[in-house]
Amino acid sequence: MSQNEITYMSGNDLLKRTRQDRADFASLWNGLTESQMTQYPGPQHDWSVKDLIVHIIWWENYMVERIGKIVAGTDEATNLDLDEINAEILEDNKDRPLAEVLADFENNLAGVEALIISLTDEQINNADAVDYGGRQLLKFLMSDTFGHYAVHRPDLEAYVGQIKH
């Protein structure tokens, strides 16, 4: 079932789906060498696999921080320039060692899990339960977890397939 078709998920189901899809996504780069994970072009012409992983980490962290503020009632609406943010993420992390990025990816899951576990099914699904501009938190949660992995999966699969053949 695609992200757009999902209108309700229990916290447990959201947690299971996030864990599974994240593990499946990460399995795509298993077995690649450091050179293959840091070369350009990678999954996208200007992103290596390492850059993609950093991108995923950053957006997961953003989601955890922002949803925490939304639930606490301290969030301030922001208009994000996604291209600008993504360019900053790449620039800020271009010199980070791959081993550090991979460790951060593994460690980052705990924060995502803690956020999901902290939310009730009502907070996740009922747009009236949490003030998020009349939208469900579920949509935000999906867009920076399994929905986000799905967006980048085809490019990563194509890159890995190209290397292995």
* Model confidence pLDDT, tens digit, residues 36-52: 999 999 999 999 999 99
Maximum distance among all alpha carbons in the chain? 51
Write out pLDDT tens, residues 78-131: 788 999 999 999 999 999 999 999 999 999 999 999 999 999 999 999 999 998
Give the position of tokens 């501009």.
133
76 CA to centre of own chain: 21
Instruction: State in Å, rounded, how far the first CA of the chain is from the last one.
Output: 30
pLDDT class of 77 with cuts at 50, 70, 90 = confident
pLDDT above 70 for 1 = no
